[in-house]
Structure 1
Amino acid sequence: MARNTDPAAEGTSRASKAKSAEPQARAAGEKPAARKPAARKAAAKKPAARKPAAKRSTARTPVPKASSLATGPLPVAVPTLDPEIAVGARTEPAHGLRNMSEIRHFFRTNRTPIFFVGASAFNLLGLDRWVRGFSYITYYDSWKGTHPRVFSPIHKPYIEFQSGEEINNWLLRHHEVRAHIARLTPAGEKPKIAMVFFDEESEAICAELGYELILPSAELRERLDSKMTTTRIADSVGVPSVPNIITTVDSWEQLVEVTEKAGLGTDLVIQTAYGDSGKTTYFVTDKRGFDKIAGDVLGTEIKVMKRINNRPIAVEAVLTRHGTVVGPFMTEITGHKELTPYRGGWAGNEMFPGVLDDATRHAAMSMVRTLGDRLGQEGYRGFFEVDVLLDTDTGEVYLGELNPRISGASAITNVTAGAYADVPLFVFHLLEYAGVDFTLDVDEVNERWEELASADVWSHMIIKHTADTVEHIDVAPPSGRYVLDAHGRLAFSQGDLDWHLLGSENEAFFLRIYGPGDYRWKGADLGILVTKGRLQTLGGKLSIRARHLIDSIRAMYATTVLPPAAPVAEAVHMAVPDSK
């Protein structure tokens, strides 16, 4: 995600690179016994369990090993119906959905299966509490087969995925996944597919298999993902960005000339059109700094901004046919060395009543609604995320960036008081793609959510491996609920399905990403910790409580460090989809 402080992490589908490492045996032509995982794990933030339609092994296959193919009979693609989904007839009233009660009832009695496909279930975990027939298809299973609504293929040969799109396309084609979808799809229904990362190939696969991809087109999303396009669209409706110019330069001298003319000075933030995890956001003050990034910015269109002191704020929204519903505003947890090796890298969010004062919140909400309504003119509809920048010197509110997708902040958005009073924000996206008529008073929903937001305090942290080592994971903490015991120690309590039932700051939910048999390397996501309460001080530092939680989770890992090996290829670090 882009902002005008240190580089921040972006959740675009253009994945960041991390050098892979493996034993020296590869140089001798042997297959490596161990390799660093190349796949990004989709974090993206249920008790309503159902019996799986087909029994399958719960044993996890260590994906990074080339010899880790599972054996045994393949699942049979028999289109048996999930009892919970199949019971009952369609519930859409002849007059359409007229109010929130009817919308809730519609999704509680839904019979069309909806699948979230991704590397992990993080982003929309727990949504099945509101939507019958909603489940998850993931590359990595954080519960080792025990979550009743998470399906992960057994047969997973080692593959060096280069993007989140590749992971999802591989899953959609997989014979076990296709059989699973067939089993849960009632006759006459067309399964719906939601993803964070997708492309035109994803669209073609869904069209061939008869799945409905309930997302804006890949072409439109790619165009709106450009920081240049976003800035120009915002300018067209009076949504302000940090003072900037969009230009192309071939030298530092030329850059200084155009920025001085525009009144931006030479303390600058430079961005290319697309980026990931802050790796294409550069902070430059002189020629020496510019020369270090020249290869990435010379001769290409760049956005050059005046550097300001700011607080980055994240907010998610859904553009419906009746207007834009805006979720709660959240601060970001970024750049802490205890969480991420990347300077300014996104590592979580916090939601609390004082994120913005009343006047600033109204201004920011109006800006997001205006931008959302403008996106409708581009043909967009559904879920998106906006980075808002609050200038701490002047109080001005600026557009930082638009991310036309589900984001990592969804994990918190979906547990707000507003979600429990009405429905989670993503359900409005499902409503827009449900193929039913509905009436929605967007003003009323936004006013109610703004009032209810004053009662919510939630946080989450993405915990990465920060050392410059490659290690085999021997022992790892399981996914589930953790509590602080009488001695203040963090201890595993139970293997819960999500974090929605956390009730106090003495509890936390850890969603494991890499487990025993996997490998971790610099920048790899170990897991996500979700908790009530704040994790940063007023000065933006990690609190003592946050540090204790991080240290406690890290202490639960036991690993074997691999000897250094020569880099052999560029492998993609498919991490938790950033809040963006």
Structure 2
Amino acid sequence: MKKITDLRDLKTFFKENVETPILGVGVYAFDRLGLEDVLEDYKILALRYSLETELIEKDLEVLSLEKGMGTKHIRQPRNSTTVINHPRTKQYLSKLNRPPLLLPYKASTKMEKICKENGWTLAASPTRFGKKLFENKATFRKILQGLGIDPPPGEIISALRLDFETLRIKYGLPFVIQHPKRGGGKGTFFINSKDDWARAMALLHSREKEGETIKEDLSQTKLIASKYISGSSPSITGCVTRHGTLSTSLQYQIIDAPLLYNPKKGSGLFCGHDWSSSHFSEEVSRQAYDIVEKVGTYFAAQGYKGIFGIDFVLEENSQKLYVTECNPRLLGSFPTIAMIQTLNGETPILAFHVLEHLGADYDIDPKEINELMRRPKFGSQMFLHNLTERWGRNQKEVKPGIYELEKGADGNNTMKFIRPGYAMKHLETENEFLLTDGLLKKHSHFSPNRRLGRILTKGGVLSENKRTLSPWAQDIAAASHSSFQLKPIKFAKITKIINPHFLAKG
């Protein structure tokens, strides 16, 4: 059994011991980067053919289903299941020398069925661990309490029993309401007033599907009501292996940044990470490592393996970590964290996720690997969304690559293109920033709050309070959004019917 102790060992192990073809699967090719500098023959299957894909495929093999379609889209849902189920994908995989391992963001029941029928290995946690179990905030809250881990003080309550005055008296203002199965923005609400309450109730009783709002019956739903904890929002990445639980260092999340995500969408809106600013006390780090170890041990006992993430809120005064949720899948930190780990000389935690799903015969000392993966890190990422509240069409094509800010003739910040690039390794200085991930051709279409792209930097982007963007990061976000020159689309619903290839599903 080969022991892996560092990045060189890891690369050698894959080269000499792994014969199974390994392919990342994502909506965009960028989404499944992260292993290209570890595996010599890593490939990617993607749905969209975004502008940075043209750069990526110069370095590794990419099958993009929409290549050559311009601004049109395949009339199927915008997810990895569509990629795996497509006839071209099946034909492509049938020509490989042996059945592959496929690495998606998360599994679906249809994806599991397709992989089983074709003899492909799916490197994702089974759907039984998802919305009904670990990803369900109410269920996970009960698991935490059984493990002696503190979520924010609160309760699980029937939606029919919600009452503003009762909760205000019990928890004070603000307090928090959460839907157990929805992510931040769609299901998390900070209640500061009766107006916030009314808005939250309206949003809780509706949900978005294919860009439209439909009503949802909550009569049988249990919600979470809890005290609002004032503080920053760290998170940690864990990985269940046969040798024990691995984990990275704590990282700050960027939450509710109005220049990145329209605040009218809701509360708890995930906008990115800042690793450069992620310096925590030994006591706070110890809390995080104890929690991820307990959760990982519990997950392992349930048959779980691979990547999972835990989100926290760090109470300002007491410096106590409260667990807010768990994500039993790949995370929004990928692929950026894998890029940073590789550049930092660490063993990327994503590689151990793959080894576990391969069933590879390898050995590690978890304590040594954890020490390596918990090194101080550099870099940040910000997710930029359509802020216009309407369907929009970009009047300008934004090149993927390295930029710097400069003052225009009118005194406003503009973006100066420096050189092409698509990954963290292409950044050279802390004055630069990189635009990548899903940059589409001119006259493409974006639904309200749809992601426009991802901004990477070598330095930090959070201010000293670790909760808001620094002035430099704010300038980057504003200039980047302006560069798309989004123009509202009139009669979007009619356009979806007449030209479904343009306004794609999802």
TM-score band by shorter chain is: 0.7 to 0.9
| CA distances 1:35-87 after superposition (whole Å, capped 9, x unpaired) | xxxxxxxxxxxxxxxxxxxxxxxxxxxxxxxxxxxxxxxxxxxxxxxxxxxxx
Aligned length: 469
Larger mean CA deviation between 416-425 and 511-520 belongs to: 416-425
Q: Equivalent residue for 1:422?
A: 346
Task: Work out whether residues 270 and 303 of structure 1, in 8 Å CA contact, stay in contact via their aligned partners in 2.
Answer: yes
> What letter matches 2:140 in structure 1?
T
Task: Work out whether residues 509 and 529 of structure 1, in 8 Å CA contact, stay in contact via their aligned partners in 2.
Answer: yes
Give the superposition deviation at 1:521.
3.7
Alignment of 1:70-149 (within 5 A): 95-97=1-3, 99-100=5-6, 101-109=8-16, 110-142=18-50, 143=52, 145-148=54-57, 149=60
TM-score by length of 1: 0.73
Residue 496 of structure 1 is aligned with which of 413, 418, 421?
421
User: Take 1:445 and 1:436, find their aligned partners in 2: how far apart are those partners?
Assistant: 17
Residue 101 of structure 2 is aligned with which of 186, 189, 192?
192
Q: Does 1:551 align with 2:478?
A: yes
In structure 2, relative to structure 1, the CA distance for the partners of 1:311 and 1:351 (3 Å cut) is: same
Q: Does 1:300 align with 2:221?
A: yes
Task: Work out whether residues 128 and 134 of structure 1, in 8 Å CA contact, stay in contact via their aligned partners in 2.
Answer: yes
Q: Does 1:324 align with 2:245?
A: yes
In structure 2, relative to structure 1, the CA distance for the partners of 1:569 and 1:269 (3 Å cut) is: farther
User: Take 1:538 and 1:420, find their aligned partners in 2: how far apart are those partners?
Assistant: 24
Residue 378 of structure 2 is aligned with which of 437, 457, 476?
457
In structure 2, relative to structure 1, the CA distance for the partners of 1:212 and 1:337 (3 Å cut) is: same
User: Take 2:273 and 2:504, find their aligned partners in 1: how far apart are those partners?
Assistant: 21
Q: Equivalent residue for 1:176?
A: 88
Residue 432 of structure 1 is aligned with which of 322, 347, 356?
356
User: Take 2:426 and 2:109, find their aligned partners in 1: how far apart are those partners?
Assistant: 38
In structure 2, relative to structure 1, the CA distance for the partners of 1:462 and 1:197 (3 Å cut) is: same
Residue 176 of structure 2 is aligned with which of 245, 261, 269?
269
Task: Work out whether residues 3 and 363 of structure 2, in 8 Å CA contact, stay in contact via their aligned partners in 1.
Answer: yes
User: Take 1:323 and 1:432, find their aligned partners in 2: how far apart are those partners?
Assistant: 11
Give the superposition deviation at 1:448.
3.1
Q: Equivalent residue for 2:462?
A: 536
Alignment of 1:219-238 (within 5 A): 219-222=128-131, 223-238=133-148
Identity value in percent? 20
Q: Equivalent residue for 2:233?
A: 312
User: Take 1:288 and 1:335, find their aligned partners in 2: how far apart are those partners?
Assistant: 19
Give the superposition deviation at 1:551.
3.4
Residue 507 of structure 1 is aligned with which of 405, 423, 432?
432
Task: Work out whether residues 256 and 266 of structure 1, in 8 Å CA contact, stay in contact via their aligned partners in 2.
Answer: no
RMSD across aligned C-alpha pairs, in angstroms?
3.1
User: Take 2:196 and 2:415, find their aligned partners in 1: how far apart are those partners?
Assistant: 44
Q: Does 1:380 align with 2:380?
A: no
Give the superposition deviation at 1:489.
5.9
Q: Equivalent residue for 2:117?
A: 208
Give the superposition deviation at 1:287.
5.9
Of structures 1 and 2, the one scoring higher in RCO (CA 8 A, sep 6+) is 1
User: Take 2:83 and 2:489, find their aligned partners in 1: how far apart are those partners?
Assistant: 30
| CA distances 1:143-187 after superposition (whole Å, capped 9, x unpaired) | 35443233201476745655x5xx22221122222233234x22x
TM-score by length of 2: 0.83
Give the superposition deviation at 1:414.
1.3
Give the superposition deviation at 1:529.
0.8
Residue 241 of structure 1 is aligned with which of 151, 168, 178?
151
Residue 453 of structure 2 is aligned with which of 502, 527, 544?
527
> Structure 1 stretches of 5 or more lacking a match?
1-94, 576-580
Q: Equivalent residue for 1:278?
A: 185
In structure 2, relative to structure 1, the CA distance for the partners of 1:282 and 1:569 (3 Å cut) is: farther
User: Take 1:530 and 1:547, find their aligned partners in 2: how far apart are those partners?
Assistant: 13
User: Take 2:457 and 2:14, find their aligned partners in 1: how far apart are those partners?
Assistant: 27
| CA distances 1:227-269 after superposition (whole Å, capped 9, x unpaired) | 112111221211211112122252445x766896xx6456421
In structure 2, relative to structure 1, the CA distance for the partners of 1:147 and 1:569 (3 Å cut) is: closer
User: Take 1:266 and 1:352, find their aligned partners in 2: how far apart are those partners?
Assistant: 33
Give the superposition deviation at 1:523.
0.9
Task: Work out whether residues 108 and 130 of structure 1, in 8 Å CA contact, stay in contact via their aligned partners in 2.
Answer: no
Alignment of 1:366-377 (within 5 A): 366-377=290-301
In structure 2, relative to structure 1, the CA distance for the partners of 1:573 and 1:370 (3 Å cut) is: farther
> What letter matches 1:552 in structure 2?
A
User: Take 1:367 and 1:137, find their aligned partners in 2: how far apart are those partners?
Assistant: 35
Larger mean CA deviation between 223-232 and 292-301 belongs to: 292-301
In structure 2, relative to structure 1, the CA distance for the partners of 1:245 and 1:512 (3 Å cut) is: closer
> What letter matches 2:144 in structure 1?
A
Task: Work out whether residues 316 and 410 of structure 1, in 8 Å CA contact, stay in contact via their aligned partners in 2.
Answer: no
> What letter matches 2:39 in structure 1?
V
Alignment of 1:19-38 (within 5 A): none
